[in-house]
């Protein structure tokens, strides 16, 4: 049977999207990379050959060897192990930051789109103000106010993605608000709260997923950047951006210290970006070019 025929029969949109996604090679590669990183982060204690905090000054700044595949850092800690454990931190920063922004953004977008009028105007002007800030600067401002630290970093990165979610959700709400089934729900006397969460929100899930995937990529990048500046997780916690920052000092004598964490950041961000693009193509065939 031809593959294309499957979509003709009354299949759910979800199944169609999945089959679209599976045909997109790039997206599958991206997704695999992301899953691989998540897997190593979750099972870090089983996979990492050494304890990431275990320092041994006799073995400081050693190059690649069978013992230490990616060499050791200035305290003789195994870089491969630190990258594997660092993934926990860097991925968590990206994912939690985006979780914060998606919850806030979705709520604001739903309220804005459903209520309309003055409420809509106030919320969206506020979102404009947040967007008037270049992202990195806003995050920098928030971290400098709250002080350095992992959780503050997540909040800072979370806040500046809020407007993106609010806009996308508001747009989706506006496009379905006047649909007959919403009117029908109103007519049979369902509460606004119920209508928003059971009829309107499910229609926004696709765009939210796509946006979240792409925003995680950006949050990981900027999170690593702020950690690089010393505003994120504090030493000796392994984190990719912070590892780059300490490796910078030894660039001349031990370039591997600053090289490999950067590859890790790039690969995982690339994975999220490619997967996000594929997801968008799969969920919204109209956008496909």
Partner 1 sequence: MLQHIARRLLYLIPIFFGVTFISFSILQLSPGDPAELLAGEDATQKDIDAIRQRYGLDKPFLVQYVVYIKNVSHGDLGTSLRTQRTVIREVLARYPATIELAGVSVIIASIIGFFTGIIAANHQNSFFDYGSMVVSLFGISMPIFWLGLMAMLVFAVMLGWFPAVGRGTLAHLVLPAISLGANSAAVIARMTRSSLLEVIRQDYIQTARAKGLAERVVLYKHAVRNALIPVITVMGMQFGYLLSGSVLTETVFAWPGVGRLMVQSIYARDYPVVQGAILLVAINFMLVNLFVDVLYAYINPRIRLE
Binding site for partner 1 (CB under 8 A): 125-126, 128-130, 132-134, 136-138, 140-147, 217, 221, 224-225, 228-231, 241, 244, 247-248, 251-252, 255, 258-259, 261-262, 265-266, 269-270, 273-274, 289
Rounded to a whole number of angstroms, the minimum distance from the CB of residue 233 to partner 1 is 16
Kindly state the smallest distance separating residue 259's Cβ from partner 1, in Å: 7
- What minimum distance in Å lies between the beta carbon of 224 and partner 1? 5
CB of 90 to partner 1, least distance (A): 11
Query: In whole angstroms, how close is the CB of 125 to partner 1 at the nearest point?
Result: 6
Please, which residue, 32 or 56, has the CB nearer to partner 1?
A: 32
**Beta carbon nearer to partner 1, 6 or 129:** 129
Q: How far is the CB of 55 from partner 1 (least distance, A)?
A: 23
Question: Of 134 and 202, which has the nearer Cβ to partner 1?
Answer: 134
Residue 22 or 248: the one with the smaller Cβ distance to partner 1 is: 248
Question: With respect to partner 1, which residue has the nearer C-beta, 118 or 125?
Answer: 125
Name which of 97 and 143 has its Cβ closer to partner 1.
Answer: 143
The secondary structure of the chain as a DSSP string is --GGGGGTSS--HHHHHHHHHHH-HHHHHHHHHHHHHHHHHHTHHHH-SS-TT---GGGTT----SSSTT-B-TT--BHHHHHHHHHHHHHHHHHHHHHHHHHHHHHHHHHHHHH-HHHHHHHHHHHHHHHHS-HHHHHHHHHHHH-SSHHHHHHHHHHTTHHHHHHHHHHHHHHHHTSHHHHHHHHTT--HHHHIIIIIHHHHHHHHHHHHHHHHHHHHHHHHHHHHTT-SSPTTS--HHHHHHHHHHTTTT-THHHHHHHHHHHHHHHHHHHHHHHHHHHH-GGG--
């Amino acid at each position: 049977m031809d593959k294309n025929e499957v979509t003709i029969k009354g299949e759910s949109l979800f199944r169609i999207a999945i089959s679209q996604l599976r045909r997109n090679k790039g997206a599958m590669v991206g997704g695999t990379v992301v899953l691989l990183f998540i897997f190593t982060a979750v099972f870090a204690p089983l996979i990492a050959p050494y304890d990431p905090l275990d320092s041994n000054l006799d073995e400081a700044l050693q190059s690649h060897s069978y013992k230490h595949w990616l060499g050791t850092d200035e305290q003789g800690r195994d870089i491969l192990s630190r990258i594997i454990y660092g993934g926990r931190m860097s991925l968590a920063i990206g994912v939690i930051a985006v979780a914060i922004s998606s919850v806030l953004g979705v709520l604001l977008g739903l309220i804005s789109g459903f209520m309309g009028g003055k409420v809509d105007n106030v919320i969206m002007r506020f979102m404009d103000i947040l967007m008037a800030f270049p992202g990195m600067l806003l995050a920098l401002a928030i971290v400098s106010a709250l002080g350095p630290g992992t959780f503050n970093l997540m909040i800072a990165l979370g806040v500046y993605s809020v407007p993106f979610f609010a806009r996308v959700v508001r747009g989706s709400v506006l496009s379905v608000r006047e649909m007959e089934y919403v009117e029908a729900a109103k007519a049979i006397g369902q509460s606004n709260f119920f209508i928003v969460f059971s009829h309107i929100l499910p229609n926004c899930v696709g765009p939210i997923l796509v946006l979240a995937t792409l925003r995680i990529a950006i949050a990981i990048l900027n999170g690593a950047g702020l950690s690089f500046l010393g505003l994120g997780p504090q030493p000796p916690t392994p984190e990719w951006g912070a590892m780059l920052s300490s490796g910078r000092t030894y660039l001349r004598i031990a370039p591997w210290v600053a090289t490999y964490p950067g590859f890790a950041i790039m690969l995982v961000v690339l994975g999220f970006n490619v997967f996000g693009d594929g997801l968008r193509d799969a969920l919204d065939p109209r956008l496909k070019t």
